[in-house]
A and B are shown apart, each in its own frame.
Chain A
Amino acid sequence: MSILIENLSTLQNVIYIISSMLFITGIKMLGKEDTAVRGNFLSALAMFIAVSITLVNVVNPLIIIIGISVGAIIGSVIALKVKMTSIPEMVALFNGFGGLATFFIAWSEYSTTPENSFQYILIMLTTFIGGVTFTGSIIAYGKLSERLTIKKTSLITKLFTTIFYVSLLYLIYSTFFTDIFEPNFDFYLILIILTLLGGIFFGVFGCNSRTWHL
Chain B
Amino acid sequence: METYILLGFVLVLSIYLGLELISKVPSTLHTPLMSGANAISGIALVGALMLAVGDQFGQLQEVLAFLAVTFASINVFGGYLVTNRMLKMFKKK
Query: A residues bordering B, Cβ < 8 Å?
Result: 23-24, 26-28, 30-33, 36-37, 39-41, 43-44, 47, 50-51, 54-55, 57-60, 63-64, 66-68, 70-72, 74-76, 78-80, 84, 87-88, 90-91, 94-95, 97-98, 100-102, 104-105, 107-109, 111-112, 118, 212-214
The SS class assigned to the A binding surface is: helix
Closest to A39 in B: B36
> Which residues of A are found within 8 Å of B85, using beta-carbon distances?
79-80, 84, 87
Q: Are B53 and A57 in contact (CB under 8 A)?
A: yes
A31→B58 CA distance, assembly (Å)? 44
Give chain B's interface residues, CB within 8 Å of chain A. 4, 17, 21-22, 24-56, 58, 60-62, 64-91
Does A75 lie within 8 Å of B74, measured CB to CB? yes
- Inter-chain contact B60/A111, CB cutoff 8 Å: yes
* Contact call A101/B71, Cβ cutoff below 8 A: yes
Instruction: Enumerate chain B residues within 8 angstroms of A213, measured Cβ to Cβ.
Output: 27-28, 30-31
- Judge whether B26 and A80 touch: CB under 8 Å: no
A37 CA to B44 CA, complexed, in Å? 23
B82 cross-chain contacts in A, Cβ below 8 A: 79, 87, 90-91, 94
Chain B residues lying within 8 Å of A40, measured Cβ to Cβ, are: 32, 36, 80, 83-84, 87
